[in-house]
Amino acid sequence: TYNIDAQIGDSSACATALLCGVKANVNTLGLDHRGKFEDCMSSYTAGVTSIIDWAQKHGKSTGIVTNTRITHGTPSALYARSPSRYWEDDAKIPAHSHASCKDIARQLIENEPGKNINVLMGGGRRHLIPTSVYDREERNQRGRRTDGRNLLDEWVHDKKTRDLNAEYVWNKAQFDKVDPKHTDYLLGVFGYSHLDFEVDRNKGPTGEPSLSEMTVKAIQILRKNPHGFFLMVE
């Protein structure tokens, strides 16, 4: 999983090698060797597909479970094509590239395969809510999106529009109430940034589910598909 231009690679380009099957340049994701760091236009010709694209094409259910931000280097290689792993929200994209390139969070909510992923669980609410909104858990912290969009609300709206059995949850009490039998799409974003280490985790109703609890719930939802499923757990 070493990178084209770095023997000691970073997680986004290493994940691209692992999950998309091509070598990549350091700090890029979902792009082949033609993708250049922070070069927006290079992503137009360098984009590649991932194992989640392939699984969905064959009718399988798909999921991502992580204790990092769901827009972080490893998980985002499964659904985004970006010349920078750091473009997790629109505020990180240089002004001259705003009109041409979508941030990673938008690609997750708007593009294929992201919008069709059945189970998404991790952290990173800050990249999904606007600067005008305070986080529900870290009440002194605002979102980081400068475009005014609340992508959590947009995910819920998209699933309702498509008449899908979907749930959005942000703490353990809500997570525990999710019935896998009646849930086909689950978005769980349990942290403003990364989730806590297990030793520090708030195990109460206002806290976070463990990595193992998220994994079990994900499998319970995904295994309903007779064609099988792909799940990445980080």
C-alpha distances in angstroms, 116 versus 7, 13, 53, 71, 197? Answer: 34, 23, 10, 16, 29
Annotation says 11 is catalytic: yes
For 193-202, which contacts have Cβ atoms below 8 Å and span 24 or more sequence positions? 193/69, 193/123, 193/124, 193/126, 194/67, 194/68, 194/69, 194/72, 194/123, 194/124, 195/67, 195/68, 195/122, 195/123, 202/172
Is 138 marked as binding a ligand?
no
Is 167 marked as binding a ligand?
no
Is 194 marked as binding a ligand?
no
Among 11, 12, 42, 50, the one annotated catalytic = 11
Q: Tell me how far apart the alpha carbons of residues 66 and 117 are, in angstroms, rounded to a whole number.
A: 14
Active site members: 11
Could you tell me which residues are annotated as the binding site for Mg(2+)?
A: 72, 74, 234
